Amino acid sequence: MTTMDMQETVISYDYDESVHAWRACAAAVGAADRVAAEAGVRRAYRQAGLREPEEVVWAGSPREAVTLIRALAEPGPSVRETVRSAPWARERQRLHTELGAAGWAAHWAATGGRLWDSTQALVNRIRAGVLADLVGQDTGKAASEVRLILLDAVLGQHDAPWLAAFPTADGPLDGPLGGLAAVSRSAG
């Protein structure tokens, strides 16, 4: 791929529109669109090659979600790698291959990198608050358990920086991240 080809690929993507839309998503507060979010969860499972969940359980907050999960007798295996991490890695690798190392770095800086610090600061504050409330400390076995539960959650809004890095079509994100994008846009 020539430098000109890389520039054409990069320029064909409207960075500002994507960053603006995902910044709004990352900072959104309010009620979830449960129908759309549940459709996104089911789509993400299908896209990952998994059977759709029989039920989507809603929680009013990350704290309540951790409490619900900790109370489960048999929570089942984590699907984080299959549903979220592996699709992200494949899409990132696809763009890295298409754009090259410098092109990917420029693309990330122009998209997700612009949202990363502010979104991570919010995620870290929420995580710290949940840990303080449920465990009372930031270290130890109970804190590690809560961290893993929070890590496994597809919370939606914290995925905004990554979603900003991948081209969107009219509305839902096309391709293998479409289910995750629908959750992020709709989970509240």
Amino acid of residue 65: A
- Report residues of the chain scoring pLDDT below 50: 1-11, 169-170, 172
Question: Are 19 and 164 in contact, with CB atoms under 8 Å apart?
Answer: yes
What are 76-128's pLDDT values in tens digits?
888 999 999 999 899 999 999 999 999 999 999 999 999 999 988 888 888 89
Cα distances from 120 to residues 82, 125, 144, 161, 176, in angstroms, run 22, 8, 19, 9, 23
